[in-house]
A and B are shown apart, each in its own frame.
Chain A
Amino acid sequence: MSRLLRVELDRFASRTLIRLGVAAILVICCFAVVSAWDAASPPSQAEQDQAKLYYEQALADWEANGEQYVEDCRAQEEADKAASDDPALVDYGCDQMTAPELESWLGGEPSFEGDTTMLLTPISLLFVLAPVLLAGSFVSAEFSTGSIGNWLTFAPRRVRVYLSKVLAAGLATIPVAAVGVGIVLAGSWAAFQYYGTGDAAPPADVSSPVHVALRIVALAPVVAVIGAALGFLARHTAAVLGVVLAWLVLVEAILVNWVRELQPWTLALNVQAWVEGSAPYQLVECTVDESGQSCQSVEHVISQTQGAVYVGVVALVVVAVALLVFRRRDVS
């Protein structure tokens, strides 16, 4: 078993497509570092002048017309309330209309913690899609070239062959993910150090992006395992891609949009909950009382634990189904 695992790890690392894919992932991570430098840099003199100019224009406008704006807002709100079935939902926040502040044109203080976390969130998407496809092609290429048949005449124990491939895909993904998010973290850290714009950065403040990064590193191999199992089921890289796209479009987009109650069961939200700590979603809930039906948009939250359990269970189910199928399936 460990013998087969070592051979599979070697094969994973030697495949041209996987090497190209890994290179692409790392390049994308480097681009993220570029935007980290952007976020870390304090506003230049030109930007400050520009901001000041816009601010002064806005302030002049507010001083001249501010009261009128608030009044218009209130009037519009009243009118829409009267027209609406559900007046409680109409709230234009007119009281929050206040004089402009220079801050809003300067674009906030750079913050290592906040900016890096925001950078890692879209990166997590990369470490979900890429492992599925790379691991999927790693396995399915053997079926489409037919070399799995030859392989089985050397290693006939199907369960071992299966586990070695699935495990290899998962294990090999860990260093890739670690290096990828490592580049983003280290690059961002260096940027904030360079500009000296970082927070005072006591360890507690740094923890958020580091934890997000660690959760991405933990997630990537699980997704790779799912991808490898899909490779056993679909047996063609194009088919793996098709299954993933079909799931995303048909289930995660169309079906969920149609039946909103399915939201907590989507992979997208559960993955988000795991990576970011929680994932909010809205449901419209209606109650009927003597005054008639009243509906309200209520926010629910998927917890991190729920996200982890969900992704784990999906991985286990896919891996088990693919194993049962591969154990019995004819290979020709």
Chain B
Amino acid sequence: MSTDLAISTRGLRKTYRNRRGQRAVAVGGLDLDVPVGGVHGFLGPNGAGKTTTIRMLLGLIRADSGTMTVFGQTVPERLPDVIGRVGAIVEQPKFFPSFSGRKNLTMLARAIDAPTSLVDVVLSDVGLLDRADDRYKGYSLGMKQRLAIAATLLKDPDLLIFDEPTNGLDPAGIREIRGTMRGLADRGKTVLVSSHILAEVEQVADTVSIIARGELIASGSVADLIGAGAAGTVRVGIADVPRAQQVLGAQGWTVRPEGRYLLVDGGVAPASITEALAAQRLFVDELVPVRVDLESVFLDLTAGRGPGTHAPPPEGEHRPAHHAGEAS
């Protein structure tokens, strides 16, 4: 196994037995590669198998078949050797509710033989020092999330796994987490962040893997996935659409009207467009480069791949039962 991969899985498979005794595929032969360094988005609609994959990587649940490595070490067999390099938050952070944040971290630090003086360091890193002696169950969701991040920092890990870290956070909290992830990646760490919300990952991820129904459907850098061809369209808002179309068409550019707008394809520089129009005393109201975002790529790729794809249910885990019957 190559060691320039932080995580690699081959043919990873996990099924669950449902009420009727049938096996429902949660992860079905997943080949996932996460390169060392940078932020890697792990995307998929609700129920795609992201959490299940992460739990298998962490040895919390058993794979039915397939192989996994973390930093080149086979897991779960060699997990004890690499777990010190891996910090993870799976779904909601879970600590002992009646202990304070500090007590929770102190116990974790002692379990891994980290100096307990580190506890206050990581608590202040996440800005929780002043609430450190409050009971965990009294923390707000954002504070719980920050405590969980502080816990992962106790190990000073090389790989951080965040499973939907921004669930339930306010915009400030989301931005903060994003900043944290970017900061970690800039310090040379590898960050794997799972999400079903594209916009959230797109801004911070260097590379992404998209899964649906437990299988990998696309992976690569964000730029590759968005695709070079899709970029470079400019939308022009102007009062006299027909005349503007004539003028721009005369420049040899591909121009299509779209309602009150014109779309200019082919990577024409916006400055050239304004210049050409101004020469004919036509003045633009609006000039926007059209961004093809990951969202539309994601929706295209996962279209028709099971319920929840286009309209994810608000609560992650519910999926119609008929899906289970399609297990291979």
Contacts and interface: CB of A to CB of B under 8 A. Distances in A.
A55 B107 CA distance: 67
Contact of A155 (B86, B95, B98, B111): B111
Nearest to B108: A154
Nearest to A142: B96
A331 B60 contact: yes
Contacts, number: 74
Chain B: interface secondary structure? loop
B217 interface: no
Nearest to A158: B59
Contacts of B112: 154-155
B282 interface: no
Contacts of B79: 156
B113 interface: yes
Q: Is the interface of A mostly helix, strand, loop or mixed?
A: helix
Contact of A145 (B87, B90, B97): B97
B110 A145 contact: no
B68 interface: no
B59 A152 contact: yes
B94 A11 contact: no
A3 B111 CA distance: 6
B83 A330 contact: no
Contacts of B95: 145, 147, 150
A15 B60 contact: no
Given A11-B96, A145-B97, A330 B111 contact: no
Contacts of A141: 96
Contacts of B86: 153
A14 B111 contact: no
Interface string A1-31: 0011011001100111000000000000000
Nearest to B135: A16
A211 interface: no
B252 interface: no
Contacts of A328: 62
Interface in B35-56: 55
A332 B110 contact: no
Nearest to B148: A150
A145 B99 CA distance: 12
B133 to A, nearest CB: 13
Which 7 pairs of residues, A with B, have the shortest CB-CB distance?
A146-B94, A330-B61, A331-B60, A147-B94, A156-B79, A156-B83, A7-B110
Interface of B: 55, 58-62, 76, 79-80, 83, 86-88, 90, 92-99, 103, 107-108, 110-113, 148, 151, 155
Given A151-B111, A157-B80, 12 more contacts: A7-B107, A7-B110, A145-B97, A149-B94, A150-B90, A150-B93, A150-B108, A153-B60, A154-B155, A156-B79, A330-B61, A332-B60
24 contacts: A6-B110, A7-B107, A7-B110, A7-B111, A11-B96, A14-B103, A145-B94, A146-B92, A146-B94, A149-B60, A150-B94, A150-B95, A152-B59, A153-B88, A154-B111, A154-B112, A154-B155, A156-B76, A156-B79, A156-B83, A328-B62, A330-B61, A331-B60, A332-B61
